[in-house]
Amino acid sequence: MSTKLKLLTLPLLALFLFAQFAEAGLVRTGGRGDPSSNFSQAFYYVDNQYLNEVGIIASAFDFDSPKAANSIVRAVGGGGRGLGAVPNDCINGYTEDDLDNLEQEISFLYEDFDNGLITEDELNAGIAALEFAVYGEPCVWEFAQGDALSMFGFFSLYFDTPDVSYDVNWLIGDITLPGDINTAGDIVAPDGTIRDGWVTLNTPPTMAFAPGDYMVYVSVGLSAPNGRFFRTSSEPDYEIVFEEKCIEKPNPDFDPDAGNDPFIEVCGYTNVDRNDSEVNNPTMSFFSDGEMLRILSASDGPVTPVNAPGSIALLLAGLFTMGLRRQRKTQS
């Protein structure tokens, strides 16, 4: 079989973190987005028994109380979406400082080129080597035509409870294929470990895709009839926090002869944004960035593993070029 996850040269967005907050500024390049912001988001699932008309009941936050909310929290750092059509091993995180240094080093190479100290080939090789050192090598799924498609990706927002349902779909070209969530624990696959809660795609052998390159995406929609989702975020200018809110509603025990009030106050904790407006029932639909799926002609035979064969040559050429620049600076 020719099911291989290959390392090529296409950078990914950011380092998604499972079940923890992150404060690292991570970015994406190669024409696939601007630097991501430095913030975290947390998604909460809370059972109905801990909710009222407003939100989470106050006693649910008293963890010594029998009514303490057994909420499940999943968090995403770096402004990421928490869903990818590739394993976490394909994610390469880098900082704004890395990009600033890269830009400076590339500008030095252009100075050398403008001054006639290096050739255009040496310029391109040097830039490629510098970019490779920062961005690394992400992954491309590769199969032969007629193979079964077996792919998986990370999902940081898996709530390990039967009360939450998942609708997983993989989009390849204009074809949508149903996927699933791995609930069998960690599975060791030829292409890496499929973690508990990650998204998967497994099809029978298919001729639906002609040889060529396709963009592949995965989407997940969450639903929970026995509870509600809440969200907090530290995104600058769009912070979302828990805040107590109160409403008035008719008193079901109102009796004018008893002298009690016709209305009662009900309070609970809910999400509010920076404008003090409520954030009710946050959208729990997630869509990954596109990754590459390569279908080879069945006549090509078994797939030969590709690990960016030009990378070492580019790296050596780049080091040679940078050596020239540093030598020039030493002599000047």
What are the boundaries of each domain within the chain?
A: 4-112+131-300
Spatial CB neighbours of 279, under 8 Å, sequence gap ≥ 6: 231, 240, 270, 271, 272, 273
DSSP letter string, 196-228: TT-EEEE--S---S-SEEEEEEEEEEEE-TTEE
Burial of 130 (0-12, 13-18, 19+ CB in 10 A): buried
Position 146 scores a pLDDT of 92
Please list the ranges in the chain whose pLDDT falls under 70.
Answer: 1-38, 62-71, 77-81, 89, 91-96, 135-138, 257, 259, 300-332
Q: How far is residue 218's CA from residue 228's CA, in Å, rounded to a whole number?
A: 24
Q: How far is residue 287's CA from residue 67's CA, in Å, rounded to a whole number?
A: 35
Which amino acid is residue 9, in one-letter code?
T
Q: How far is residue 126's CA from residue 311's CA, in Å, rounded to a whole number?
A: 11
Q: How many CA atoms lie within 13 A of 188 on its CB side?
A: 0
Position 137 scores a pLDDT of 61
**Nearest in space to 160 (alpha carbons), one of 41, 71, 220:** 71
List beta partners, residue 242.
Answer: 271
Position 95 scores a pLDDT of 63
Q: How far is residue 125's CA from residue 314's CA, in Å, rounded to a whole number?
A: 5
Position 59 scores a pLDDT of 79
Position 199 scores a pLDDT of 96
Position 102 scores a pLDDT of 87
Position 313 scores a pLDDT of 36
Burial of 104 (0-12, 13-18, 19+ CB in 10 A): exposed
Position 312 scores a pLDDT of 34
